[in-house]
Amino acid sequence: MTNSRPEKIVEPPYADRPFLPEAVFSDDVVMVTGGSSGMGRGMAMAFAQGGARVAIIGRDIDKANKVVAEIEAMGETAVAVGADVRDVKAVATAFNSVEGELGPVTILANNAGGNFPVLAEDLSTNAWNAITRIAIDGTFLFSTEFARRRMALSAPGVIVNNSAQYIWTGFPGDAHSAAAKTAVATMTRAMSKDWKSHGIRVNCVAAGFFPHDASTNGDDPDLVASLGKMIPAGRTGRMQEFGWASAFLCSPFAAAITGQVMMIDGGESLRRALMSPDFVAPNQRSNVWGYSV
Amino acid sequence: MSRTVPSWLADPVAIVIGQGEGVEAVAHELAAAGATIARGPIAESREVARDAIALASAAAKDPVTMLVHAGGQSNPASAETLDIQDWRSGLCAGLDSRFFYAAELAASLMAQETTGAILFLDLQENAGGVMQATASGGLGNLTKTLAVEWARDGIRVNTIASRIVAGGTKTELRSLGALSSYLMSDFAAYVTGAIVGVDD
């Protein structure tokens, strides 16, 4: 039996509505890797909204400086540092540079990542290494450097990692990121155990589709609206929701929360039906991430 | 910093089922966030749940739009020592009653053409005993199923599975309450079908 009723698609509050108290991060220095664009920028803005001093780490210093200017326009403090998150020496240099300007980093947000559709058999060594190591090694290097510095000060700290909605299901046509993003989630759990006794919390936000200017078709509002229809919630994610989820996990309200992987995807990863269109192998599809010929 | 969460909720009525330190902490924090709290019994049928929701709505003078449902006491007894009454009682509190309330609340929200949120509070699957393990498995996949079935109705369904639901330190209980309030609020409008812990 079926019934028909009007759809209710719930939007979040507007980005400028305060979520956490105004000064919740006023004693914090937050380092955001991959903070120059997209989801990293979304996290950076949420921390700035809570009064944090923010360090934007990006490979492109000009883009990082643009986010710094946005945060300064909010009346908050931010700095930009250029670094490749896979470069061991660059990691320590980035921390030294940020801590010289803003003081010790108290919250780390690991966002640096990359992704593109590709058939596994066409994935080159370089492409595999790039996508997996930015996420896996980048998160490992920044997190361990952060933890050593917090332990040296006998001070607590918080880490939030950016993962993806497809981490528990696999993602055909995305072998590099499918492996890398689940590795980040399970790394989160292990690090939370390693550092619990030091008061360092480690959590992860597993995000669905949050379009932004730099994502595929993210700058086309009509296309974004139509893509929203494929998601159970009836829309794509709004960047402020992703920022809020991350900020909540790093806030004092979440003081006991650690080792968690929180899915925020509007039900996208759970969408399935017993009766589906014929399976088309990724190499037969017009769009590797689509489902049809 | 303020002791409780900000006013994340716009004066909804939440019906809260179950007992224990965890659910009390959640009720406290939901009230601080702006909810009116009503209580209901573990339901052995949809009819019992329907009556409890109606009673709560009448008492609060506004329809119930939110449900928080905790399970029963965990029972570590070895499986072969449980009789059918123990077994049924545990499964009713851990699984059946949750479904009955969720289905009745969803039907009521659909009839009123309004939106709502559901939160199940559970222990971890391995918290102890075969009833806990059985009910937790069922509840986890029920959460994911209902979340998708009702996503386009603006009804979200999430589960917090944590040892802290059974009790914890003040900080742990406050984090449980804050996480619950966040998940029930529109700030978490894109979180549905999620199963998250506190420190587990």
Instruction: Please give the ipTM for the structure prediction.
Output: 0.94
How far is B114 from chain A, CA to nearest CA, in Å?
8
Give the residue from B119, B142, B190, B200 with the most A CB atoms within 10 Å of its CB, the best one to mutate: B190
The 10 Å Cβ neighbour count of residue A104 is: 16
pTM reported for the whole predicted model: 0.96
Burial of A6 (0-12, 13-18, 19+ CB in 10 A): exposed
Distance of residue A60 Cα from the nearest chain B Cα, in angstroms: 30
The pLDDT, as a whole number, for residue A218 is 72
* Arithmetic mean of pLDDT, A277-282: 92
Cα–Cα distance for residue pair B54/B62, rounded to 1 Å: 10
Interface test with B, best of A166, A253, A264, A265 (most B CBs within 10 A): A253
CB contact under 8 A, B197 and A8: no
From chain A, pick out residues whose CB is under 8 angstroms from the CB of B168.
Answer: 256
d(CA A178, CA A183): 9
Q: What is the dihedral of CA A78, A83, A247, A229, to 10 degrees?
A: 120
List phi, psi (to 5°) of B178.
Answer: -65, -40
A160, A205 contact by CB (below 8 A): yes
Length of chain B: 200
Structure tokens at B112: 């009123």
Backbone angles phi, psi at A240, to 5 degrees: -65, -30
Digit-coded pLDDT (tens) for A93-114: 999 999 999 999 999 999 999 9
Q: pLDDT tens, A216-253?
A: 677 788 888 888 999 999 999 999 999 999 999 999 99
Task: Indicate if the pLDDT at residue A30 is higher than 90.
Answer: yes
Q: What is the pLDDT along chain B (200 residues), one digit of tens a residue?
A: 556 789 999 999 999 999 999 999 999 999 999 999 999 999 999 999 999 999 999 999 999 999 999 997 788 999 999 999 999 999 999 999 999 999 999 999 999 999 999 999 999 999 989 999 999 999 999 999 999 999 999 999 999 999 999 999 999 999 999 999 999 999 999 999 999 999 98
The CA distance from B99 to the nearest CA of chain A, in Å, is 19
